[in-house]
A = this chain, B = another copy of it.
Amino acid sequence: MIQLNDAKGISHCTVFDSETSWYDLLTDDEKIVINENSVSITFKKGETVCKRGAFASHIYFLEDGLVKVYLEEKNKNLILMLAIKNNLLGMAAIFDGNNKLPYSITTYTDSIVRMIDINIFRQLLKQNSAFSYHVINLLNEKTAQIYGRFFSLTQKQLHGRLADILLCLSNRIFKSTSFELPLSRADLGDLTGMSTESIIRMMKEFKDDGLIGMHCKNIELLDIARLERISEFG
């Protein structure tokens, strides 16, 4: 289990990555039910899996790929979280008053999504408490993450927010200090609550200060300790 809020401060992380498998908690019969009531769909990079406001008919299990979960309204965008493979998405709609999806999902890379009938999923939650207990833990982990990000975006300024997201991408998504970004600068903006121009300026500043290396989409974190200090102080 990954620690989300350490003693030092309130960390900002936006990736959800669960190792435990909910599927293993189902009985053999239940597994059959899931299999018969779900389909695996392939999405290309940049395709939309679902849109906020639509009726929620499925729970999405991301079998492979990288997606963003986001809110959009007028020209304002906010990425709520990034998700990598083995994530259950769309659970917030399980009992939303009106059964509408509370967010949209779009892929960053080619992705495979298993779409599970929401009523079947509800049924399993109601009948299998080991499964529903596990789901509660998943939800709580996401909630803790959202709190950290909420704090970061409302209380820190640009430097801190950029440091946060770079550390998060490195630790949680790419698991390496150097990686090739599938997100555009505009997406980084939607993730950190800043304008595209500010993202660019700030990244250049980080580069000039020797905190990161950067050639187009290729990023390398050079001074993690200093990035962490920037994240902490703001």
Contact = CB atoms under 8 A, between A and B. Distances in A.
Contacts of A73: 9-10, 151, 155
A144 interface: yes
A80 B151 CA distance: 9
B151 A154 contact: no
Interface string A130-163: 1011011101111110110111011100000000
A71 interface: yes
A37 to B, nearest CB: 18
Interface residues of A, number: 53
A166 interface: no
A201 interface: no
Contacts of A97: 1-4, 141
Nearest to A77: B155
Interface stretch (A42-50, A87-95, A176-184, A214-222): A87-95
A168 interface: no
A119 B128 CA distance: 19
A151 B78 contact: yes
A88 B49 CA distance: 33
Contact of A95 (B71, B130, B140): B140
B95 A193 contact: no
B140 A96 contact: yes
B140 A129 contact: no
A96 B10 contact: no
B153 A153 contact: yes
B71 A10 contact: yes
A147 to B, nearest CB: 6
18 contacts: A3-B98, A4-B97, A5-B102, A7-B53, A10-B73, A71-B151, A78-B151, A80-B150, A92-B143, A94-B140, A95-B137, A96-B141, A96-B144, A125-B132, A126-B133, A129-B129, A146-B146, A153-B154
